[in-house]
Amino acid sequence: MAPERITPEHLVAFAHHLEAMEALQAVCDVAADAVAERWKPTEPMHRGDDWIWGYTAPDGGETLHGWKITWRRFDNSDKATLPDGRRGVPRFVAGLNAPAGALSSLDPAAREQLRRAGFTLLPAVDLRWKDHDYIVMTAYPDELLAGKSIQEQGTALGQWVLDTFKLATRALADRDASE
């Protein structure tokens, strides 16, 4: 539904949109470097308003049972098939993805552990991408980027990504320990 008129806030948003998105990309670059210190990066991808950074476990790292480690930036979160998107606002998503059906093969206790930790479990049948299941946490820039510089903000985003990966991979490692 369209607003009744364009407000001063809208005009400010228009004026600063490009600069804000350039700054957000710089923050993401810092975050990607921070994450790469712990995880081995794959080639980042950009499709439309979807930026994807992928990683593989470091040597001797967690067993991932076919799950891939990724984080994403959706520049318009209402286009992402995720619950509760804010229209037009960038959104960060971090976690795991695997071929469709992988969620159902996880032990119910592992799925419950992930939910309790704050993850959203998204089976492929519920998504526009029907070939992968996802285990993700999501956040918006205003929830993560309180630093006083691009470097501090990128470091904060990188730490959130690392913490998310740690929680997700721990749940899979706990699965191994219980088998």
Q: What is the pLDDT of residues 132-141, one digit of tens each?
A: 889 999 999 9
Q: CA-to-CA distance for 88 and 9, rounded, in angstroms?
A: 14
- The mean pLDDT value for 3-19 works out to 92
Amino acid code (one letter) for 160: W
Across 22-127, the runs of DSSP E, i.e. the strands, are: 40-41, 45-47, 50-56, 68-74, 91-99, 120-122
91 lies in a domain? yes
How many domains is the chain built from?
1
Domain harbouring 83, CATH code:
3.30.1460
Per the structure, the complete domain to which residue 46 belongs is given by 8-178
Report which of 178, 169, 177 is spatially closest to residue 63, judged by C-alpha positions: 169
2 lies in a domain? no
- Given a cut of 70, whether residue 176 has pLDDT beyond it is no
Q: CA-to-CA distance for 174 and 157, rounded, in angstroms?
A: 26
Residue with tokens 């799925």: 111
Mean model confidence pLDDT for the chain: 85
The alpha carbon dihedral of 137, 143, 145, 146 has a sign of: negative
- Given a cut of 60, whether residue 29 has pLDDT beyond it is yes
- Given a cut of 70, whether residue 179 has pLDDT beyond it is no
96 lies in a domain? yes
- The mean pLDDT value for 6-21 works out to 92
Q: What does the pLDDT read at residue 60?
A: 45
Q: What is the pLDDT of residues 79-122, one digit of tens each?
A: 556 666 777 889 999 999 888 889 988 889 889 999 999 999 98
3 lies in a domain? no
